[in-house]
Structure 1
Amino acid sequence: MRDRWICSVLESYDGDHSLAHRYLDGDGRTRELSRSALLGEVRARAGALTACGARPGSRVALLAENPGQFVPAFLGALWAGMVPVPLPPPPAVGRRTAWSESLGASLSVARPDLVVADEATLALIPGPSAHRASYEFLSSASAPISSAPAVLRPDRIAYLQFSSGSTGRPRAVAATAGSVTANGVAIMRHGLAADPRRDHGVSWLPLHHDMGLVGFVLAPITAGVPVTLLATKLFVRDPGIWMRTVSQVRGTITGAPNFAYALATRRTGHEQLDGLDLSSAHTLLCGGEPISPRTLRHFTEVHRAAGLDPAAVRPCYGLAESTLAVSFAPRGTAFRPDRVSWSHLRDHDRADPCGDEREAVEVVDCGRPFPGHEARVVDDAGERRADRQVGEVWVRGPSVCGGYVDDTGTGSAPFTTDDGWLRTGDRGYTVDGRLHLTGRLKDVLILQGRNVDPQRVEWAAEAAHGVRAGGAVAFTRPGADTEEVVVIAECHPRHSEQVGSTVREIVSLRLGLSLGDVVAVRPGTLAKTTSGKPRRQEMRRRYLLGHLHPENHQSHKE
């Protein structure tokens, strides 16, 4: 496997009739493309985008709706030397105002020369109406076909990727041709040992996010691995379609954030398990947000009856600023979290091993960085910390991108130190070079001088009867003497009366923390990023402003 730019790999697909992509669009239709057919569509879309006025270097915003439309258009933009900008499509129902505001903010940062979306979606896009084209037009345009791909230097911006965890002003990461190539090769060669003769990827992940776009479109192309891509709305409507598709196509590689594993487990009954055969799957990656050992353990236990190998579930770590992935837990090793002392982690930022069932908390091992890549944990002064000492994770290597789009919208501002280290904003520790992530710096709860990662509180709260999986957020509020912890928990109204006392009891028992307030809210109330991560600071703002109205929740204050 040579380290080649994606378009060079696509160029080699000419005359090759083996499967490249299978698309399941939101309307349920399936379409298969051979490698040769994919190349033909990519070249045709490059020609159609050129006919729309886009040129090499032009920014082309593409709303990531159905994969069968988006993927050839995105690759066509790369082929023509344009800079594609993947953006989220409108939600099927509700939250259209929030989507429109978020999209408008992203467009103001990206400043695209052309916007591409479904015909029906174009009218919903905020801003000037000029320089727009529909996917329907691109697929039917009789434009000259672009025969040869643009040649990109490694430092040339390939596309813009909005950071999925961004909850304030959108930040567009400038992914370079070099970083994309390096990360694709690292994922497929070193992380997965992928073999195009045996492997088949399956993904429903949103294609405007790095995990869906890089993990299941760009990286597989570097290795020639075929992929089945489902429209995200299919998973939203029916989470069981994920594992059913893996079973049907004999998928070997798939992945998703933690919340998806919880959803898939909750929506899978015995009758669904009876029809599944997951014995082909050797890798189920879990990343993109803090990983709950409880969630992965439950998923593995439920799906073992369908032939799932427990060693197939592999936690991983990455971020858009490093293209996608930094490390994978090793293949063929059963998932075993690190059990550490909660009091030492909370009070001393130390992850000391602990065998006491009541005192221990579990932290996921995300493996070692890929070859040629580095990671270290540092203190507030940037000094390296020893094994099992918690600090900020910094990463360095060829997958690190060029920076964020600068304020002028035309260039990129580096986000690394002078010697190439990327400050991730994530907290964690190492054990023999293996990364263990404990939380985000900006969300840490500081209580009487102690650092408490909010995920620990949220996971404990989710264990309360009636609280939805992934439906709790924790933050602090000013108290009389010190900061107090507040938990907002989504639950059905019939459970709201009991949730407050139950959450308090579980958090106190498991973590030794007292809660200042527990607010039970209806499902769908929590603010989240487009990738499903909780927007804790936004929920804190709403709470402090009194926007969680009494008629919509039960509050249980001390």
Structure 2
Amino acid sequence: MSRFVDTMVATAASANDRGMTTGEPTAPTRRTWADVHEKARRMAGALVAGGVARGDSVAVLAGDPASIAPAVQAVWLSGGSITMLHQPTPRTDLAEWAADTLRVLAMIGAELVLLGNPFDALSAVLDENGVSYRKLDELDGDPLPAPVEVDESATALLQLTSGSTADPKAVRITHGNLWSNAKAMEEAAKLDPETDRMVSWLPLFHDMGMVGFLTVPMLFGIDLVKVTPVDFLARPTLWPDLISRYQGTITAAPNFAYAIAARRMGGVEDGTWDLSRLRIALNGAEPIDPTAVKAFTDAGARFGMPAECVLCAYGMAETTLGVAFAPVFTGMAVDHVDPDELEAGRRAVPVEPGPGARSFPLLGPPLPGLEIQVVDESGAVRGEREVGQLRVRGEAVTPGYLTVDGPRDTQDADGWLDTGDEGYVVDGQVVVCGRRKDVIIMGGRNIYPTDIERAATSVEGVRAGNAVAVRLDAGSRRERFAVVVESKLAGEDDAVKELTKQISARVVDAVGLRPFTVVVLKPGSLPKTPSGKLRRSAATALVPA
């Protein structure tokens, strides 16, 4: 039997009045986890009656958390697996989206899509392409008497990765993976259903949103306030407003969102919010900028937010979600290292903080049940503060990917997964330097793009979180790099010329090297994954030859 499903069912019966609030800011609606479960049982009854069987793959295309929560639980009760499809945006070419979606559905073997608000209108696109679907608001039947039994090795979640939608890949998360990682995060974050309340706007097609801020609270019976990314982007101050009004204790977001929130909070009067109950503001899913984190904690201090609430984390879909969490309520700890030793010597030699130092947040020890190892290119284990390839092993690690070319294993003979990241370990805590494929090699030095990007975004006029450093002539003796940024100044020749000059100077100050070119684009131009991460490799095409 699945420990995950057993616990979810037991929680529904014992969570009392705890549940989820959706519909903010216009029409807040509260449902207990028991309410969600009862609706899920009826939906599961309809799914089974309609032919869904143990092991079937079911895709979901919906944006309303109130509809998604019972739907995903219904699929699990039916013995199936869930895939949250990437959602089209107003700028999406629907013909391309349909082609990409058909490719994904074929890859995961899904024959059914559960379609819900606000994407009901896409039913015509699905009809045109012969895709079977059922609308969530019409999915109702006799309650399923008991969950369909599955074992721990059964697939629970097929998490689409944040790569190109034209070349999709799904991480296969088993019931055992999901249970192991959820329990590890519960322990590391010291979750308490009696006192905690989670607040989130994260997308449910991303692992942090789906696992961390829907599955985990539903599994353990923790109060949840859930809005959508569209709500956050339309009014970023809605986020701290909800934390204040609902007395939220736990939230999470990628680094760029904290940078946006810090700026918007600066224009709000003292005393508007009470953020004093916040004990975890998890920062993960993309490189963490200590400057952005400090701006956020400084802005939050006016509303009683303790700086200690910041929790820097390392995670990936391949471990279900979490890999390492910094210790709870200790705030951000930063490791300052010598840049020359880091880039040429592959060692993280500590130095005093200063303009020339490289600064990396400490991401905490591995979660319970996981091991992390640093190795060189030959696979030899590296020591303390020696930089190398990060790999991870444990019960939460996926057994494999689904790709358009068929299944692919993720683990070596000893169970290790190559994360694709470079980093080191210090005092038992993980430090991530950057993605191995993005490292820029010049003059025997390994330059991490994040250092260049932070320098670029520190220039007034560059949009926060919208700068990429890309490799040019990668792997050649004349490897170079370019910086591509977004700015509202794009198109104003004199302003762009001055902005380019400032970016180059700031980058030289940061890494001692001058970019081959700086490209300034209008907002919305940089290529991003469906979950909002910048795509460095795709940005290379934006650099003039």
**How far apart in 2 are the matches of 1:529 and 1:101?**
17
Which residue number corresponds to residue 537 of structure 1?
537
Against the structure 1 CA distance between its residues 406 and 130, is the aligned structure 2 distance closer, same or farther, given a 3 Å change threshold?
Answer: closer
Q: 1:329–1:126: structure 2 CA closer, same or farther, 3 Å change rule?
A: farther
Alignment partner, residue 161 of structure 1:
159
Name the structure 1 match of 2:499: 499
Q: 1:16 to 1:281 in 2, by over 3 A?
A: closer
Instruction: Check whether the contact 1:56–1:80 (CA below 8 A) recurs between aligned residues.
Output: yes
Match of residue 340, structure 2, among 335, 339, 343: 343
Counterpart position of 1:6 = 5
| Structure 1 residues 175 and 93: alpha-carbon distance in aligned structure 2, compared to 1, 3 A threshold | same
Aligned to 1:183: 181
Q: Provide the residue aligned with 2:258 in structure 1.
A: 261
**Native 8 Å contact 1:19 1:32 kept in 2:** no
Structure 2 partner of 1:448: 443
Counterpart of 2:485 (choices 485, 489, 501) is: 489
Distance 1:460 1:125, change over 3 A: farther
Contact 1:11/1:39 (CA < 8 Å) preserved in 2? no
Task: Output aligned runs, 1:22-171, within 5 Å.
Answer: 22-24=21-23, 28-93=26-91, 96=94, 99-118=97-116, 119-125=120-126, 128-138=129-139, 141=140, 143-165=141-163, 169-171=167-169
1:137-536 matches, within 5 Å, as 137-138=138-139, 141=140, 143-165=141-163, 169-189=167-187, 191-271=188-268, 274-355=271-352, 357-405=354-402, 407=404, 412-478=407-473, 482-493=478-489, 494=492, 495-536=495-536
CA distance in 2, matches of 1:80, 1:8: 15
1:90–1:121 Cα contact (<8 Å) kept: no
Q: Matched residues in 2 for 1:107 and 1:266: separation?
A: 40
Which amino acid in structure 2 is aligned with residue 186 of structure 1? A
CA–CA separation in structure 1 for the residues paired with 2:359 and 2:127: 45
Kindly provide the amino acid, as one letter, of the partner of residue 415 in structure 2.
G
Deviation larger for 122-131 or 461-470: 122-131
- Secondary structure of the residue that 2:465 maps to in structure 1? strand
How big is the shift at 1:97? 5.9
The 8 Å contact of residues 206 and 213 in structure 1, kept in 2 or not, is answered as yes
**Equivalent position amino acid for 1:128 in 2:** N
Describe the SS at the equivalent of 1:469.
coil
CA contact (8 A) 1:64 1:88 kept: no
Distance (Å, rounded) in 2 between the aligned partners of 1:93 and 1:99: 11
CA deviations on 1:292-329 (whole Å, 9 max, x unpaired) are 11111111111111111111001000100100001111
CA contact (8 A) 2:200 2:213 kept: yes
Shift of 1:270: 3.4
Structure 2 gaps of 5+ residues are none
SS in 1 for 2:60: strand
**Deviations 1:19-65 (Å, cap 9, x if unpaired)?**
2111126x833221112211101101112223443222221110141
Deviations 1:143-173 (A, max 9, x none): 2211211222111111211123557621101
Partners of 2:152 and 2:74 lie apart in 1 by: 19
TM-score normalised by structure 2 residue count: 0.93
**Runs of 5+ consecutive residues of structure 1 not aligned to the other structure:** 547-558
Q: Is the CA contact (8 Å cut-off) linking 1:315 and 1:328 kept in structure 2?
A: yes
Q: Which moved more, 1:11-20 or 1:271-280?
A: 11-20
Alignment-mate amino acid for residue 69 of structure 2: V
When residues 296 and 307 of structure 1 are mapped into structure 2, their CA distance, relative to the original with a 3 A threshold, is same
Q: 1:288 to 1:168 in 2, by over 3 A?
A: farther
Given that 1:247 and 1:276 are in contact with CA atoms closer than 8 Å, whether structure 2 keeps it comes out as yes
Report the Cα offset of residue 402 of structure 1.
Answer: 2.1
Aligned to 1:5, what secondary structure does the other structure show? helix
CA deviation string 1:416-467 (max 9, x = no partner): 0111111000111100110001100111111122211111111111111111
Range moving further from structure 2, 400-409 or 359-368: 400-409
Whether the 8 Å CA contact 1:454–1:473 is kept in 2: the answer is: yes
For residues 417 and 134 of structure 1, what CA distance do their matches in structure 2 show?
41
* Percent of aligned positions that are identical: 34
Cα distance in 1, alignment partners of residues 81 and 511 from structure 2: 48
User: 1:523, 1:388 → 2: CA distance?
Assistant: 39
In 1: Cα distance, 2:23 partner to 2:362 partner: 33
Residues 456 and 234 (structure 1), Cα distance of their counterparts in 2 relative to 1, 3 Å cut: same
Change (3 A) 1:49 1:314: same
CA RMSD of aligned residues (A): 2.1
Q: Secondary structure at the match of 1:503?
A: helix
Count of residue pairs brought into register by the alignment: 536
